[in-house]
Structure 1
Amino acid sequence: MKTLLIILITAFISVCSIQAQEKGSMVEYNNTEREIPLKNLQPNKPISRSLIPQIAYAYLYNKVVTVSFEEAMPTVTIKIIKEATGETVYSQEYMNPTVISVDLTGQDSETYSIEVVSDTISLEGEFIL
């Protein structure tokens, strides 16, 4: 009886230990892609409520920001700004982009804003690196 009780306690401790290790490693390696919600930057325009899909989408994965476009845009400027200081950490103009990736590996883990501006759209989003 004592032997059975010792075996059960040992098995329970082992299972708890393995689960705790798995949860710890999940936190370390849980780098899932997150969408950065983009809002209209033009405050004077009314908010459109239609079934037309958004023109651009932004995502963050492993300190890389990716902006993808649903339709062809002649020129687009992407700007990433550090919120705390107002410093522009990235600014680039693109011709006819479909997907743009910006590597922010050298930047600190802080709050940033992204601006996607062209002749027809002006979008802004906020994310934590």
Structure 2
Amino acid sequence: MPLRRLIDRYTGELCVAACAGQAPPDWVLDALHCLPCDMARGKGKVADRRAVDLVEAAVLKNRVGEVFGGLVINTDAEDNRPKEGTVHLADPALMGRITSGAELDLGASVQAKLTRADPLFTGKNKILFNTV
């Protein structure tokens, strides 16, 4: 089940318990007081993104070295790293980290060489591209 809306997981359990005429599970009741803060921090979104990253890396793991066309949708210029950012590919439809020898321009079309697609990579970027 995708974690697009973390609250749905708890709401579903509350509804099941109510329909069965039973008390909700303790793990649901214990989580309810933290749920607003968790939703505000976006934990569901983070978990969902990590699951998608894992699947994308698994799908691409045999395509390392291939070059794809993409668009730069984010740069790290605000963090004083203008040569790093995020690239969006149309085919296959996915996003990944990209590094460049030159500054990346937001919205620029780039040729992106897949340099890492490792579902077992424990760091943040399971998928990594370099400009060519």
TM category (shorter chain) comes to: under 0.3
TM-score (normalizing by structure 2): 0.20
Q: Answer with 1 or 2: which has the greater Rg.
A: 1
Higher strand residue share: 1
TM-score, length-normalised on structure 1? 0.20
